Amino acid sequence: MSFGRLERREAPKPMSDINMTPLIDVMLVLLVIFIIAAPLMASALKLQLPKAASATPGTGSAQFIAISIDAQGRYLLGNEPLEPDALKARLRTLAAQRPDAELRLSADRDVPYGRVAALIDWAQAAHLNRIAFVSERDLPAR
Structural domain boundaries of the chain? Answer: 51-55+62-137
**pLDDT value of residue 38:** 80
* CA quadruple 20, 22, 28, 33: dihedral, nearest 10: -150
**pLDDT value of residue 30:** 95
Q: What is the CATH number of domain 51-55+62-137?
A: 3.30.420.270
131: pLDDT strictly greater than 80: yes
Q: What is the mean pLDDT of residues 73-79?
A: 85
Q: What is the mean pLDDT of residues 50-79?
A: 72
Percent of the chain topping pLDDT 70: 74
Q: What is the mean pLDDT of residues 104-114?
A: 85
Output Rg (C-alpha) for the chain, integer angstroms.
31
Tell me how many degrees the CA angle 83-135-56 measures, rounded to the nearest 5. 135
pTM > 0.75: yes or no: no
